[in-house]
Chains A and B, each alone.
Chain A
């Protein structure tokens, strides 16, 4: 009971990181760090991944287009076969294979590359998910340490009124307000109101006391009129007294309670010989005076912390977020889906607890609330406007459309009933919907990856198509011409047969 006051600013140690990145995550991280922009980093990652698979991709696209031209040439024969073997799928397949061989049509498309693509896709989804969790958690951890850093720096700059408490290992435990704050200008109001520091060595009923109880009553009244919700210790009777009447009269106090407090104070200083009946009215008045005075000083100290120290920490935390915010174009946080009803900063710590491995006590919740106190706007702001979702659906649809058109002949002729063409028509809707769902579930950065990847594929398709078309149409036309000429020369009658 030596000191009523132990007002402190909490310092924070962050929320922990229950998982680490693997090497793919580290590649993404170093690309993003290297580019300085998350969006560009992700697009670069997409580009690199695409460049690795591009040779195979281009090769497959060239042969796809070549095949589609050859297929068009074989169309009359295949259509004839389709009519001929309408009821025998197996035989049609065999006849078709024979025709392929004769025409030099080689199927390029095969299963292994498809399976490799699917595996890469799943790995990338996984990595983006764990990387997004890693980043979101890192972000609030960084905010936490920035908060502590700022508060400690502030305390060191104001070492006359604040003390940084450290443990044996030198880690910051908390920042405590010194008694000397009372001597600064900040508490001038209290001093003129009559509150003074007591010599705690001899007067241990409390650290502060007013010159007389009337001036204390005036001070309480003036503070209340100024709108102070004046901070009081738990004792309800102090509160009632001070707020309802603003006049402090020892007769109205239950002096028995006060006497108990006085005896406890004396006991704390090993003076157990005090008896209730020996306590004078003067001592009771002194104790009441001391309780209320100390409460007011305590309140003032809390205000000092709330007005001067915490804003520094909150601002540092908010600044850390805003400077490192993973924003790109209109998306405020790329590691959250581009949806209007999702927010760049989550509203509670629980939402960051992706693996149920974070400490979730009240203290941690309070830590989260404190470090994000200046980010209330970000907790409510829309993260995006669905644009990436719509874009990824649109581009997927477009590339489906292009591939389908390219493979129209194969789809129609590969099976007897042309069923492949029908399933593919349905798939033209299924795939974009699937990617739309991905864009909803996963993050904006994943949508960005999908869009980048699809655009590159689409461009590769269009460009290869153009050149293959230009090159092979001519070549085939010459071949046809040469063959026709040869046939005509050898046997003019065969000419009719072929046509």
Chain B
């Protein structure tokens, strides 16, 4: 790192060259293929990408929740507070880390809550499991406290309610309360607002911001919605076909997207208040995991691709202020504009 680079705040989570493999009967696939990023304390990193880009697999890898048998981390490091989680045994990871210091919020609040247990039992469960609460009444008190943190009105009274007695937005708050109950350093949120209506979504995003201010938790937010990413993230990483093709500070990435894929994603979405016109439509579809292109994985869909792009994968080009991209066009000093 050169002296001109601003000193980045201490990373709460650092992922280096993560590779995840899925062994299937028809062969071994690599849904995550060399992913590196870091999130500072109190900051939010957005990972954006389309379905199949590997963003959810990246998250599941961080928590070692990969499908079994077949799924495994084949390389790289996941460092939280100086500890490489990939080196831990399953037992150590479950006992001291997962749900304790690195937690997760999933997309669908209905399927991540058990319909036959009360909210109090479910929010209290991680507290009991990680022995933060030693007694039932202590777990209850702390669960109520967590529900209060996610702004659920009269939390004590609602401990005895079941998931079906909550609305969709309130359920997502309950799931978030479970995730922050043990005061983790890192919270991974996989599409936490995409099943919610916009007026509820805006409140959830505000809630995450408040929780972050209060607790300093680092958040990794997975989303396919560029609008959601723009409104809550400090940094953004764009994934395509198992790799991060561009990452940088949110403002910089939206104002000066460097990678042709990022550019076409931003031009493909209709924007409010914009004159009605034909949308830029990216042709084709992402490559299949079983038939990855040899060179740049976006090359088959890229208007600017040439022989070099098809032949080999581009290295990383540093554009300053933590803005990086993997594109031959950028590496050669051109300013690509595909869309």
Chain A complexes with chain B: no
